[in-house]
Amino acid sequence: MLQLDVFIFKKNILELALKRLIFAENYQVSFMSKLVIVGTVAFDAIETPFGKTDKILGGAATYIGLSASQFNVDSSIVSIAGGDFPQDYLDLLSSKNIDISGIEIVKEGKTFFWSGRYHNDMNSRDTLVTELNTLADFNPIVPESYRDAEIVMLGNLHPLVQQSVLNQMTTKPKLVVLDTMNFWMDCALEDLHNVIKNVDVITINDEEARQLTGEYSLVVAARKIHDMGPKYVVIKKGEHGALLFHNDNVFYAPALPLEAVFDPTGAGDTFAGGFAGYLAKTGDTSFENMKNAVIYGSTLASFCVEKFGTERMQDLSSEEVLKRLLQFKQLTQFEIVLNDNL
């Protein structure tokens, strides 16, 4: 009985510590940084082996914003949408303490639309429709009150658009995080190299890291990307987790094994939002704290895939996040005794 009481006591202490970390109760409010999120707000139509949707809320900035909102940070989305973008979607973002004054609404235009079909393995997909619409003429305008933001999250857009955002900042951000994709490596490589020089963190998947560097080894690829400018390199490996590189330091975070993956759309952006949101909340951009940010990003991404689109992230509670963080801790924590006889 005594052993059981001790176990329950330790478990309660662990849960309290993690809960304090989630809400950053052990940080002063003054540490909280402004977060600028640049990316798409969009309509998605998704088909997976589990079902299909008509047009639903999507877009990189949407996923990033909803994920970062778990930390109640002072964030602003810079994006563009058409007059067909429902007010209810804007109200949803506002309800999450996300400033939407940087979302330009072109009343006579249409919102960016993407449709895709996932294969049975859920790792590969076919793009069925891409309609740029208002995004084709997107000229991002960062709200005046956010041009001194400490953290900038550059979602997947043309590198020139990403650079134009950095050019509007009145003070040098404490941390700039960039996401990109192989499409820009194919058609705007020089522009991509130019903006990469000006960022602190790059988040890409393993295929993109190999294409960007011409190296198969992700360790060598990360080293080459370091030489391009970023001090930190995050390489996402989908269901196999994520790697964080900084100089000669490497950190690996596994993906939480899930019973079912319903829709992987937006998982990478959700990871990025959790990563950037946690860093904005804590104000600590050290390598040690970035390890925590990777875990938070992975945790939040594991929720995103459980339902279609942004549905799971819209009503995600802090208690659910706490419970899954405990699962992550149990997944990765172990004790081992090393001696000369082994």
Say how many C-beta atoms besides its own lie within 10 A of residue 276's C-beta.
33
In which residue are the tokens 């009481």 written?
5
Residue 17 predicted with pLDDT over 50:
no
pTM of the entire predicted model: 0.90
pLDDT tens string 236-282: 998 889 999 999 999 999 888 888 889 999 999 999 999 999 999 99
Percent of the chain surpassing pLDDT 70: 90
Which of the four CATH numbers 3.40.30.10, 3.30.70.3040, 3.20.20.140, 3.40.1190.20 does domain 30-332 have?
3.40.1190.20
pLDDT tens string 207-231: 999 999 999 999 999 999 999 999 9
Q: Which of 121, 126, 269, 340 is catalytic?
A: 269
Cα separation, 150 vs 227, in Å, equals 24
pLDDT tens string 108-137: 999 999 999 999 888 788 999 999 999 999
Query: φ and ψ at 328, to 5 degrees?
Result: -60, -45
Q: Is residue 263 among the annotated active site residues?
A: no
Percent of the chain surpassing pLDDT 90: 80
**Average pLDDT score over residue span 83-99:** 98
**Cβ contact 142:169 at 8 Å:** yes
**Average pLDDT score over residue span 312-331:** 92
Residue 341 confidence (pLDDT): 61
Distances in Å between the Cα of 110 and the Cα atoms of 26, 116, 132 are 45, 19, 9
Domain ranges of the chain: 30-332
pLDDT-based confidence at residue 340 (cuts at 50, 70, 90): low
Residue 18 confidence (pLDDT): 52
pLDDT-based confidence at residue 338 (cuts at 50, 70, 90): confident
